[in-house]
């Protein structure tokens, strides 16, 4: 596992990378439709602003977060829509400023949580470093939608390791999102980092194996690419099935991306 304290710096760096991508867009481009049906670039940033605002509250004022969570309805999609609605009326410069403020607050609050203390969250309380990893997952997924919309090829660094660890930690989310019982099978992940380093995660003696580029795994579990357009390989029946349903977030899986929608890696 990577050092917990470094994940907070990685969260800031990932946010800064996406900030550089959206900061130069004119108002018309903020209104462009992204590959997420019904979502413009403004929707993507509004959603990130809402998520980081919730994370900041969860880390700094657990009672306030719990009170807010208690008011949420059973419809996940409706909750997402309500959460970002209050930001969508902002003009892009205001929305950008609110997102910057929110993610700065979240990173600071998460880094200040005492080691070992759990932070309340939407599914269950989790350690602050894990919530930071979840934030990196959000930045990766929504950032990819924005990059695809404006035609930018993203450059990744080995700090993506945190997102890989989150994907391994949440390996069962794809089953749960579809009402399936996670199998007893254990998985091993043999991945190549952006730097070329080799990463091995999961159960060392597992016979169900996922192998390939670490970035491709992140694209898969955020459902920003179809498995057919990635260079991931599965060994074992359950590992092959997992490539069809993998996701690193709770809630509806959504349609994902169609095979051939994007150039294969």
Average pLDDT score, the chain: 94
Return the DSSP state at 258.
-
pTM, rounded to two decimals: 0.95
Distance CA 159, CA 144 (A): 16
Asked whether the CA dihedral 66, 71, 74, 80 is positive or negative, the reply is negative
pLDDT computed for residue 3 by the predictor: 57
pLDDT computed for residue 251 by the predictor: 84
The crossing angle, in degrees rounded to 10, of helices 161-169 and 128-150 is: 110
pLDDT computed for residue 1 by the predictor: 55
The residues, ordered by sequence, that sit 6+ positions from 123 with a Cβ below 8 Å of its Cβ are: 250
pLDDT at 265 exceeding the cut of 60:
no
Return the DSSP state at 257.
-
pLDDT computed for residue 2 by the predictor: 62
In this prediction, residue 94 has a pLDDT band, given cuts at 50, 70 and 90, of very high
Three-state secondary structure call for residue 11: helix
Pairing outcome for strands 208-213 and 187-192: parallel
Which domains, from first to last, does the chain contain? Answer: 4-155 (1.20.120.450), 160-245 (3.30.1050)
CA 123 to the chain's CA centroid: 15
pLDDT computed for residue 27 by the predictor: 95
* pLDDT over 70, % of the chain: 97
pLDDT at 4 exceeding the cut of 70:
no
pLDDT at 76 exceeding the cut of 90:
no
pLDDT computed for residue 255 by the predictor: 87
pLDDT at 247 exceeding the cut of 60:
yes
pLDDT at 263 exceeding the cut of 80:
no
Q: Over the stretch 181-216, which tens digit does the pLDDT of each residue have?
A: 999 999 999 999 999 999 999 999 999 999 999 999
DSSP 74-119: S-HHHHHHHHHHHHHTS-HHHHHHHHHHHHHHHHHHHHTSPTT-EE
CB atoms within 10 A of CB 43: 22
């Amino acid at each position: 596992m990577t050092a917990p304290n470094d994940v907070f710096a990685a969260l800031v760096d990932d946010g800064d990378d996406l900030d550089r991508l959206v900061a130069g867009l004119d108002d018309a481009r903020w209104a462009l439709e992204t590959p997420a049906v019904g979502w413009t670039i403004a929707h993507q940033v509004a959603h990130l602003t809402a998520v980081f605002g919730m994370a900041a509250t969860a880390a700094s004022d657990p009672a306030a977060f719990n009170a807010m969570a208690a008011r949420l309805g059973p419809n996940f999609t409706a909750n997402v829509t309500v959460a970002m609605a209050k930001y969508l009326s902002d003009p892009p410069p205001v929305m950008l400023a609110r997102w910057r403020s929110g993610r700065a607050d979240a990173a600071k609050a998460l880094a200040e949580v005492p080691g070992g203390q759990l932070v309340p969250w939407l599914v269950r309380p989790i350690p602050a470093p894990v919530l930071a990893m979840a934030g990196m997952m959000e930045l990766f997924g929504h950032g990819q939608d924005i990059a695809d919309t404006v035609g930018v090829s993203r450059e990744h660094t080995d700090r993506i390791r945190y997102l890989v660890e989150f994907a391994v930690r949440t390996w069962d989310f794809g089953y749960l999102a579809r009402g399936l019982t996670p199998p007893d099978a254990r998985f091993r992940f043999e991945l190549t980092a952006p730097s070329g380093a080799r990463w091995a995660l999961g159960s060392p003696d597992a016979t169900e194996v996922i192998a390939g580029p670490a970035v491709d795994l992140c694209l898969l579990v955020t459902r920003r690419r179809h498995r057919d357009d990635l260079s991931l390989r599965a060994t074992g029946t359950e590992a092959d099935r997992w490539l069809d349903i993998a996701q690193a977030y709770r809630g509806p899986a959504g349609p994902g991306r169609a095979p051939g929608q994007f150039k294969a890696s």
